[in-house]
Structure 1
């Protein structure tokens, strides 16, 4: 079971810590536990309750009324709201509850509702990515369990693969070689890039997680892609990053490398001329639009 500070609850629910404390005192909404050293903390049940309270409160329910609801009544209200509300924050709250409960059916239902309303691209950009960003900090500090993180990542990965498989390469366009550095396992952004590229009719050579350098070079020499794309979230580390980028730029001097990811965005580096940095990998859409404008797709 995970444990959360009141700041974690604030971060995930959007309710200020000061307000949460008032609600605790006035409505006995949650009762924090205490460690042996008397530090307050909250568990999964508390987080789930606060997320449901936030969703109801954001949709016009008064806190005094919410506090009187039993667990089943609150659950029914929340399910009804997530099927009707268009607010992205409400959908993110509902996804977080699904993660806590390891509830695949609920997670799938929420994603399906959003896909029908706003399409797959916008579901990824407006719901999934903000959701992953919200839980990312908690994962880094260890307040989300590996089981919860793996559960969510694998469900999103499955959704992306299903969408990618809808598109069959018909010839023409450019070649894109997608890979993650050795030791790098965070694959969702790379899969989303593969989906966007393949949908636009380009050829995707997808190597995925933790690609050994020797294999990367071998595949590159065989296919001679115009573009390579990678995401550097945790590996290589800060000390090795500049050398790694310089090495890539030299080995693949005849191609353009597109890089993104937490590690490369937060670490000061000098980018070689043939490396382009994207603040967000979804900016690959702009690259696709530029290629289309220049007639890269051959009908």
Structure 2
């Protein structure tokens, strides 16, 4: 696999540590030793990024940089595990999940989620821990920092946890319960947000049919013909051009005029154009939660 390299601004973006601070730590404490191009420009490796993420956790928990500089890389890693095993701080938990994903440490990743479930409950763990972790995961993926194996390692564990939580719910349907069809458009495979939407709807006693990923339009239309719903819910995560998104929204709106269509996901959150009257745009999964919890 081709190794990924970063400039100092990339490190700032990925770790939240100012470039100026990183330079000071380099010069004063030798915490990082960047390589240089033929034209004398600094660049950093994936290992430098991982080390800096660990350093930020220790520093945030009160260990001075001068002290951290005395630790070996192994000691830094051990102390991060020690801190993140007992902290309830959101940022530290997200950082710990990130490091467990980097190392594909199944036991550590699952333990972090389990401890959070005990302290926060499943729903708040998703909203407060998993949601920011997935945002960070997306950034790491875009910058080429993580491999497909690492990304799939993390998302499949989370996916499995959500499915278990869904199965553990016992819905009590009543005359206010509505019918929902949940699906992802053809070519869309990122289902974590949609699975959590399924969890919320079942929790709030709604009838849910989950069709899953990459559903062709004709198949959705056929299913809806035989199983008429009140709502369609879908999620857009993959990059999509504005013209294509407009077209897809228009087709859904016209074909399913009698239903309300709810969009969630990163792409619709960034969509800034007028929407048809039967289309609802959720700016976050919390908005979706509030829609049915009231």
Find the aligned partners of 1:157 and 1:197 in 2 and give their Cα distance: 17
Give 1:287's aligned residue. Answer: 291
Please give the TM-score of this superposition, normalised by the length of structure 2.
0.92
Root-mean-square deviation over aligned CA pairs: 1.9
Distance 1:274 1:187 in 2: 23
String of CA shifts for 1:70-90, please: whole Å, max 9, x gaps: 233322321221122221111
Mean CA deviation greater in 153-162 or 130-139 = 130-139
1:246 alignment partner in structure 2: 250
The correspondence for 2:259, drawn from 255, 262, 278, is: 255
Q: Relative contact order (alpha carbons < 8 A, sep ≥ 6): 1 or 2 greater?
A: 1
The whole-number CA distance in structure 2 between the counterparts of 1:7 and 1:136 is 18
User: For the residues of structure 2 that align with 1:189 and 1:134, how far apart are their CA atoms?
Assistant: 15
1:186 Cα deviation from its structure 2 partner = 1.6
Q: Is the contact made by 2:204 and 2:293 (CA closer than 8 Å) also made in structure 1?
A: no
2:149 aligned to which of 127, 130, 147: 147
Question: Who is 2:88 aligned against?
Answer: 86
Residue in 2 that maps onto 1:294? none
Helix, strand or coil at the partner of 1:233: coil
Equivalent of 2:280, from 276, 280, 285?
276
Structure 1 residue 39 displacement after superposition: 4.4
For residues 16-95 of structure 1, what are the structure 2 equivalents within 5 Å?
A: 16-35=18-37, 39-95=41-97
Give the aligned length.
290
Q: Which moved more, 1:61-70 or 1:125-134?
A: 125-134
Q: Which moved more, 1:137-146 or 1:50-59?
A: 137-146
**Contact 1:175/1:204, CA 8 A, preserved across alignment:** yes
Please, which runs of 5 or more residues in structure 2 have no aligned partner? none
Change (3 A) 1:180 1:72: same
What secondary structure, in the 3-state scheme, does the structure 2 residue paired with 1:144 have? coil
With 140-149 and 241-250 compared, the bigger mean Cα shift is at 140-149
Deviation at 1:211, TM superposition (A): 0.6
Contact 1:229–1:257 (CA<8 Å) still a contact in 2? yes
CA drift of 1:37 comes to 6.1
**Cα distance in 2 between the residues matched to 1:244 and 1:261:** 15
Mean Cα displacement is larger for which, 110-119 or 267-276? 267-276
1:237 is matched with 241
Partners of 1:192 and 1:39 lie apart in 2 by 44
Separation in structure 1 between the aligned mates of residue 145 and residue 86 of structure 2, nearest angstrom: 31
Aligned 8 A contact 2:179 2:231 in 1? yes
From 192, 200, 207, give the equivalent of 1:203.
207
Counterpart CA distance in 2 for 1:186 and 1:71 is 35
Q: 1:234 to 1:143 in 2, by over 3 A?
A: same
Alpha-carbon distance in structure 2 between the residues aligned to 1:183 and 1:39? 40
Q: 1:132 to 1:199 in 2, by over 3 A?
A: same
Scaled by the length of structure 1, what TM-score is found? Answer: 0.90
Residue 93 to residue 236, structure 1, CA distance change in 2 (3 Å): closer
Indicate conservation of the 8 Å contact 1:177/1:229, yes or no.
yes
SS of corresponding position for 1:285: helix
Whether the 8 Å CA contact 1:181–1:236 is kept in 2: the answer is no
Distance 1:214 1:35, change over 3 A: farther
Give the match's secondary structure for 2:84. helix
1:157 aligns with one of 148, 159, 163: 159
Q: Which runs of 5+ in 1 are unaligned?
A: 291-299
Q: CA deviation at 1:257?
A: 0.7
Pairing partner for 1:225 from 222, 229, 241: 229
